[in-house]
Amino acid sequence: MKDPLPQFAGTASCRPTAAQREELIAFVAAGYRNGLSLRELAELTDRTQTAVRRALDQAGVRRRDVGAPVVMNPVAVGQDKSAALDE
């Protein structure tokens, strides 16, 4: 299992602040659109896959079908996945 990113480490709680929730939703939506899986996003944000799914739903992001091929941003191919999110 990967260590969560510093901005999300220790922030998983039943009562996150509005700013924490907004940052999580934006990060998860961008990461998923750039091809990261639910599992990868859960590890990076120190959340469960269910919490990641909820964040995607709140962001209005349509989830890929189970077992669907990974959709990679052409710019992100060959880069570290966390680096692709900085774009």
Domains of the chain: 18-84 (1.10.10)
By three-state DSSP, how is residue 66 classified? Answer: coil
CB atoms within 10 A of CB 79: 15
Closest C-alpha among 3, 4, 13, 2 to residue 45: 4
Within 10 angstroms of residue 80's Cβ, the number of other Cβ atoms is 9
pTM confidence score: 0.69
Per-residue confidence of the chain (87 residues) as pLDDT tens digits?
Answer: 678 777 776 677 677 788 889 999 999 999 999 999 999 999 999 999 999 999 999 999 999 887 766 666 655 444 555 555 554
Q: In 12-73, at which residue ranges do the beta strands (DSSP E only) sit?
A: none
